[in-house]
Amino acid sequence: MDIHEYQAKDILSGFGVEVPPGAIAYSPEQAAYRARELGGEKWVVKAQVHAGGRGKAGGVKLCSSDTEIQAACEGMFGRKLVTHQTGPEGKGIYRVYVEAGVPIDREIYLGFVLDRSSQRVMIVASGEGGMEIEDISAEKPESIVRSTVEPAVGLQEFQAREIAFALGIDPALTAQMVRTLQGCYRAFTELDATMVEINPLVITGDNRIVALDAKMTFDDNALFRHPQISEFRDKSQEDPRESRAADRGLSYVGLDGNIGCIVNGAGLAMATMDTIKLAGGEPANFLDIGGGATPERVAKAFRLVMSDDNVQAVLVNIFAGINRCDWVAEGVVQALKEVQVDVPVIVRLAGTNVEEGQKILAKSGLPIIRATTLMEAAERSVGAWKNDLSQATRVRAVK
């Protein structure tokens, strides 16, 4: 789960990371009022969307008067901000963050991520802040500092100092840098985050280390331990399909293809998408319905997949280990009777009671295309989609 910048800053400040004073606003007039409350001569107005690259897309404006603040907000509220991370559809702007201007002497990149290979939290830092980490890696790879943290002891002061020295931090600011690094690490581990990124972390003209921007992402599976973090969820920034799936206990990621996937198990779902690609098709989604493929759960999955207008065929791929194929087959049949599905449906079952499951599908009288292997299921899905597409083309030609 992603959260907004102002929410991430509120969290990090509670762990000892210094952030500039700021306030959230939901209208141009409120933004101007917030600036007067903050005081000063310059303010930064930032669109609050779940995406990077806001500055280049016009989502960050430096203002020096009420008039400029209101004009900046007028250009943001109610429109879609399109960045390299949002795709062409963009993200809606419904709130802005007004922040006091900070005199900047130097910018630093700082990130905390999970390193799967070492199974540790990795700290990634660079003296080239203000740039995306991908750009830094490509243009100045020598500037990147990496350090993994031993989970048994956490981030120690000596390790934080080593990172500060590697970044060329002034010795007089080392203590501040250590406090910032340890605060970020504590927030990462104590709140089950999967990413903490500060870009840029700045050294100000009066020798302070301040987080000028902040991003945090959290493990969805651990949110039950942190109800205060769950409250930060903003559904307006999510794909509506993914939001509906999460509310129904399904793992769903929308894609740009046209073959819908209903699969039990994340690994099998990934393999299914790869096989569809290998067969010449394009998956429309990643959908893991989990271990309990009950009729109700399968029906929810069909409704979710069919809510995507691009879907022109549906592939159901179930490996019954904990489940039984006959139960799954009954669920598919019941779901197809409850949900209107007007595209080809291909079902591949494997595992416990597979013969009984195939018999249930055959006796249902429904136009279900059956397959025994994953490759066969993918090929039949692609074939059914192409056949359906060619039929639609012929109908349009006749009309």
DSSP string over 333-384: HHHHHHS---S-EEEEEEETTHHHHHHHHHHT-S-EEEESSHHHHHHHHHHH
Q: Is 102 among the annotated ligand-binding positions?
A: yes
**What pLDDT score does 11 carry?**
97
Burial class (CB in 10 A: 0-12, 13-18, 19+), 188: buried
Select from 371, 240, 265 the least CA-distant residue to 320. 265
| 8 Å CB contact between 348 and 316 | yes
Whether 394 shows a pLDDT value over 50: the answer reads no
> Do the annotations mark residue 95 as ligand-binding?
no
Check whether 55 is labelled as a binding-site residue.
yes
Given a cut of 80, whether residue 248 has pLDDT beyond it is no
Mean pLDDT of the chain: 88
Least confident of 43-47, 145-149, 297-301: 297-301
CATH H-level, domain 18-101: superfamily: ATP-grasp fold, A domain (3.30.1490.20)
Comparing 69-73, 196-200, 285-289, 327-331, which segment has the lowest mean pLDDT?
327-331
Compute the distance between CA of residue 116 and CA of residue 118 in angstroms, rounded to an integer: 6
What residues have CB less than 8 Å from 93, skipping those under 6 apart? Answer: 47, 48, 49, 59, 76, 77, 78, 79, 80, 81
Annotated catalytic residue 296: no
The yes-or-no answer on residue 252 being catalytic is no
CA atoms within 13 A on the CB side of 25: 29
Task: Look up the CATH superfamily of 240-392.
Answer: Succinyl-CoA synthetase domains (3.40.50.261)
325, 327, 333, 337: CA torsion to nearest 10: -160
Structure tokens at 146: 């990496």
231 is in an annotated binding site: no
Instruction: Output Rg (C-alpha) for the chain, integer angstroms.
Output: 26
Domain locations in the chain as residue ranges? 18-101, 103-237, 240-392
Quote the DSSP letter at residue 2: B
Q: Report, as an integer, the average pLDDT of 135-143.
A: 83
From 197, 242, 330, 379, the catalytic residue: 197
- For residue 128, say whether it is annotated as part of any ligand binding site: no
Topology agreement, domain 18-101 and domain 103-237: no
| Residue 87 labeled ligand binder | no
pLDDT of the residue at 191: 96
Lowest mean pLDDT, pick from 47-56, 130-139, 280-289, 357-366 = 130-139
Bridge partners (DSSP) of residue 113 are 122, 195
Q: Are the C-beta atoms of 301 and 290 separated by less than 8 Å? A: no
95 vs 293: which has the higher pLDDT: 95
Residue with tokens 């690609």: 277
Residue 247: pLDDT band (50, 70, 90) is low
Model pLDDT, residue 176 = 96
- 157 by DSSP, 3-state: which? helix
- Given CA atoms 364, 366, 367, 373 in this order, what sign does their dihedral have? negative
Architecture of domain 103-237: 2-Layer Sandwich (3.30)
Residue 107 annotated as binding site? yes
- Please determine, for residue 383, whether its predicted confidence score (pLDDT) is greater than 50: yes
Catalytic residue among 109, 242, 252, 330: 109
